[in-house]
Amino acid sequence: MTKILHRTIGTTLPTAVAGEGIYVVDSEGRSYLDGSGGAAVSCLGHNHPEVLDAMKLQMGRISYAHTSFFTTDVAERLAEQLVELAPEGLDYVYLVSGGSEAVEAALKMARQYFVEVGQPQRRHIIARRQSYHGNTIGALATGGNAWRRAQFKPILPETHHVSPCYAYRDLQVGETPEAYAERLAAELEDKVLELGADKVMAFVAEPVVGATLGAVGPVSDYFKRVRQVCDKYGILLILDEVMCGMGRTGTIFAMEQEGIVADLVTIAKGLGGGFQPIGAVLLSEKIYRAFADGSGLFQHGHTYIGHPIAAAAASKVVEIITRADMMANVIRMGKRLQAGLDEALGQSPYVGDIRGRGLFRGVEIVADKDTKQPFDPARKMHSRIKKEAMRRGLMCYPMGGTIDGAQGDHVLLAPPYIIQPEEIDLIVERLSDAIRAAV
């Protein structure tokens, strides 16, 4: 009998005993193609020898050094690498241990920034419905995922939500993408004015929505419009790239494709590639300067921030994903995945939309393709697809069914960046079979 409180109680999970490239092997000898990188984490597959070597090297030096006493060369190097890769304007890095921690830190940075610059009345956070920013109290309050929030709502701090940019369901008949972007920006501006233009602290969004919608990117112009609204009212823009960042969409940062730079950016998942738990917040000079010239500190901190082995692993992951052909492979394989899914599932009456960027793809499952009616949540379509896929030796990341708005089930695919054409074709084949068996 297990002594672990597993995510779902009463189901028997296979025991993972080995990782081999893009495959995970269980104790029965079955192997699973990691088509989702776990939850968009394993960007280099499993057991990458160079990352293991970097970790071993660091373990032989020093495994832990508390950040109130020391810095380490690996943490400093990682920060330099990230700043070098980030769009101009993001000049400093705060290292944490995961995505939720990164979001919490970013929210506290935003708040402290306004305290430092003499605008303590700014306290409101606006985010989007159908978003996910983590499971800790502040991050959960920020996200708009109704199912995840439901029972905790009474203890969550107050936050505010506007519509996500979700063209498949919300673009109106005859509306251009530009007009849609304008409509959403107007909705955001209305919300700012309703709350008080000088009382809003931050707007938080995932550039490409991961867990809640399944690889839904914005229409062009959307983030430019959002940036304009934030600038007009002096609001900080926090982009959550925990899932879509670190090369997942074909550029190191997803925001690069939107032509904007946020004030604060959260990253995790692909940063450590699953080799170590690590996340980070990138922040602008403006915010750093307010802290440096003000109180002289950021009033935050966890025991494991800047962990040397995590930093060593992430530094190597970053070095590898920025090598010459890596992003090119993400783009090439992403196109192949999209084309394969279009061909295999495009005509299915139960597949409403296939979308995404790079190696971040989503398949939306519907009961009726014409009306876009989702399946009854009671049918737990996402769970059935996951089970059928695992049976066929495929890890994919199906979610949904119980989220507010007219959103149903979707399957998220996020395979490692090192994936090859024949493995992409295997994902398509196994997922199509799994969906056909489940619906």
Binding site for ligand PLP (CB under 6 A): 39, 98-100, 103, 132-134, 206, 210-211, 240, 242-243, 268
Minimum distance from residue 41 beta carbon to ligand PLP (Å)? 8
CA–CA separation, 122 and 198 (whole Å): 6
- Residue appearing with tokens 């002594």: 3
d(CA 422, CA 357): 20
* 10 CB burial (10 A radius; 0-12, 13-18, 19+): exposed
Beta carbon of residue 266, minimum distance to ligand PLP (angstroms, whole number): 7
Q: Which tokens in the block code for residue 212?
A: 């809640």
- At closest approach, how far in Å is the CB of 189 from ligand PLP? 24
Instruction: Say if residues 330 and 419 touch (Cβ distance below 8 Å).
Output: no
What 3-state DSSP class applies to 163?
Answer: coil
Cβ-proximal residue to ligand PLP, closest one: 99
Q: Which is nearer to ligand PLP, 243 or 390 (CB)?
A: 243
Q: Which is nearer to ligand PLP, 98 or 247 (CB)?
A: 98
Closest CA relative to residue 438, chosen from 368, 373, 370, 380: 380
- Least CB distance to ligand PLP at residue 130 (A): 12
**Other Cβ atoms within 10 Å of 61 Cβ, number:** 13
Closest to ligand PLP by CB, 123 or 133: 133
Nearer to ligand PLP, 222 or 350 (CB): 222
The nearest distance, CB 269 to ligand PLP, in angstroms, is 6
Q: Which is nearer to ligand PLP, 74 or 102 (CB)?
A: 102
Q: How far is the CB of 36 from ligand PLP (least distance, A)?
A: 11
Rg (CA), the chain: 21
**Distance (Å, whole) CA 375 – CA 380:** 8
Between residues 38 and 177, which has the closer beta carbon with respect to ligand PLP? 38
